[in-house]
Structures are given as structure tokens and as C-alpha cells.
Amino acid sequence: MTQRIFMHWRRRLRIFIPILWCRFYHISLLIVDVVNQDSGGATDFDTSDDKNKKHAAKKAKRLREQEIRAAEERLLEKDIPRDEDEFEKLVRSSPNSSFVWIKCMAFVLSFADVEKARSIAERALRTINVREELEKLNVWVAYFNLENKYGKPPEEAVGKVFQRALQYCDPKKVHLALLGMYERTEQHKPTDELLNKMVKKFKHSSKVWLRRIQWLLKQNQDGVQSVVNRALLSLPPHKHINFITQTAILEFKCGVPDRGRSLFEKMLREYPKRTDLWSVYLDQEIRLGDADVIRALFERAITLSLPPKKMKFLFKKYLEYEKSLGDYERMEAVKRKAMEYVASSLA
């Protein structure tokens, strides 16, 4: 059977090789969800404890993306399978590489051979070592994408693959991967249903609640406040500040900035000494770019009575802001205020 398909390819390849290069985008499409998995939740806020860990994780992610890109280029250069032998050689030399398997799936899909693509996915899932979790998950995601496009009917076919994936991979990751696909392909009803399920199933996960909120905001739907309240009832207290901060950032980025402001203000009333909160709040205003609002916020921040190190941080940030506008008079004014602060704290 396989032999015949590959003979079939060989016959058709002469015609198809030129367009194979354009077909390569299939692969990027098939793996896009996994590569982007972490970018959904606006995670640019760090509590100082987590900073190093997150920094390392980000670095690892970046490295991985680089590796994928490099692999993509290498494969484009020399490793296009032209027949069954080459295909076998490729998967035998890199049996754990989801990229190679997905490439093969994309390759047969370029001949619209959906059955063959399915069988490659199945074989990949049997072959990739159980310890290579991420590689396996990549294949599951590619499988979701395949069924989403060619399943009959898609939602049912995706659902079946999803149920199977749940038995083998981390359930939260599998849910997030499916969610990513639904969001990317703008399937509103399945996205809503899945998110409702997820906030029940993973009610201790900030990430999941934030995806719920992000989706509401992007759809311009109401009810953010009630979701936030429900989330705060479910999330453990130590996650609250980070969760509210992320929600506020989402409001600034894709919702109603005023609601973001009142979230920050509420937190700062409770934790006026958290310079990290001031800093993220200022960053959001700076991104919106209303100089009057930004300066008013800086002026509030520099009248706090905090330890010198924290004050220095705030003055420096203020100075950098004025510098970015190229306003030298105001830079001098900030420096003067900093000196006044130093003088008064010495007195």
C-alpha cells in the first residue's frame, strides 16, 4: 500500500516539485500553534521571584524557535524526501523529530492525500519516544489542524483526536493547543465552549482565566468583570496580584484602558510600595502615549516615600521617558526633583 503511494508520488513528482516549495507553508501552519503557545497571555509582567525562571524559559523558547527555523532551512536545502526510501531514511535518523514527521504530513498533503497524512500522524505518535513530550504534542497539534481542515465533519473528527491526545499528554497543554487552533481559525462557538469547559477544569490556572478574558475582550463581549470575580474566587491568593495585573494589561491592550487603570489603582491602594506594579502601570500608559497622563502618573510615583533604591528606579524611569521624547528641559526638571528628593531624605 505505502509502496504504491510512493510510486504514485514518484510519477507525479516531476510535475509537483516546483510547487512543493510553495506548499512548504503547510508545515508552518501545522506547527504554528505549538510555537506560539505561550504568547497568548500577555506574560510580560514578572514578579521579581519568577524573573530568572521566566527569563530562562523565554531564552529556551527563543532557542527552540531558532532551532526550528534552522531545521526548516536545512530541510529545505537537502532533505526533501523524493521517495519512500528517503522518507524512511529521514524518519529513521530523526525518529523523535516532530518536525520531520510533520514535514512528511505536509508533503503528502500537497498531493491532497489526507488518508496518508493521517497514517503518518499515527505512525509518528507510535514512534516518537514517550519521553519526548513536546515532540508528541506537536504531532497531536498537527493532527488537530489536519482534521480541522479535512475531517468529516471537522469538529467531530477534531474532537476524537483531542480525546485521544488527552490520554497521552498534559491535559492543560492539550486544551491550550486546541484552543489556539480554534482562536486562530476564528471558530467562535467552539472557542467559547472550550473556554467555558477549561475555566471549570483548570480553575486554579491564571493562564486559562486570562485566555477567557482575552477572548471576551477581543470579541468585544461584556462580562469581563464577572469573569474576573469568578477567577478571584477560584485562584489561590498568591496568584491574585499577577492575575489582576495581567488582566489590567489585557484591558490596556485590547479592551477598555479605563478599566485597566482602575484595576491598577485598586491594587496600588492596597500595595502602594510595589514599584513593580507602578512600573507595569507606567509601561501601559507609555504605550498608549498620552504625555499628560503619563507625566501625572510619574509625578505621583516620585512623591511616594519608598526606600532610596526604589525611588531611584522611579526617577530613572521618568528620566528615560523624557529622554525618549527628547525633552531636555523636562529631563533637567526630573534631575532637579531627584536631587531635591536626595537632599530631603538626607535631612
Contacts with ligand NAG by CB under 6 A lie at 95-96, 129, 131-132
Query: What grid cell was written down for 165?
Result: 491526545
DSSP state of 128: S
What are the residues whose beta carbons fall under 8 Å from the beta carbon of 302, sequence distance 6 or more? 311, 314, 315, 318, 337, 338, 341
For 284, the enclosing helix (H) or strand (E) is: helix 275-288
Q: Least distance in Å: CB of 323 to ligand NAG?
A: 49
Q: Which is closer to ligand NAG, CB of 95 or CB of 257?
A: 95
Report which of 219, 156, 230, 152 is spatially closest to residue 192, judged by C-alpha positions: 219
Q: How far is the CB of 129 from ligand NAG (least distance, A)?
A: 4
Measured distance CA(29)–CA(151) in Å, rounded: 17
Q: Is 166 exposed, middle or buried (0-12, 13-18, 19+ CB in 10 A)?
A: middle
Nearer to ligand NAG, 64 or 300 (CB): 64
The contacts of residue 96 (CB under 8 Å, 6+ apart) are 128, 129, 132, 135
For ligand NAG, which is the closer residue by CB, 130 or 347?
130
Least distance from ligand NAG to the Cβ atom of residue 307, Å: 48
CA distance 223 to 227: 6
Min CB(97)–ligand NAG separation in Å: 8
Nearest residue by C-beta to ligand NAG?
129
And the C-alpha cell for 66?
Answer: 531558532
Among residues 81 and 260, whose Cβ is nearest to ligand NAG?
81
Minimum distance from CB of 133 to ligand NAG (Å)?
A: 10
User: Measured from the CB atom, is 39 or 129 closer to ligand NAG?
Assistant: 129
Cβ closest to ligand NAG, residue 91 vs residue 157: 91
Q: At its nearest, how many Å lie between ligand NAG and the CB of residue 170?
A: 16
Q: How many residues does the chain have?
A: 347
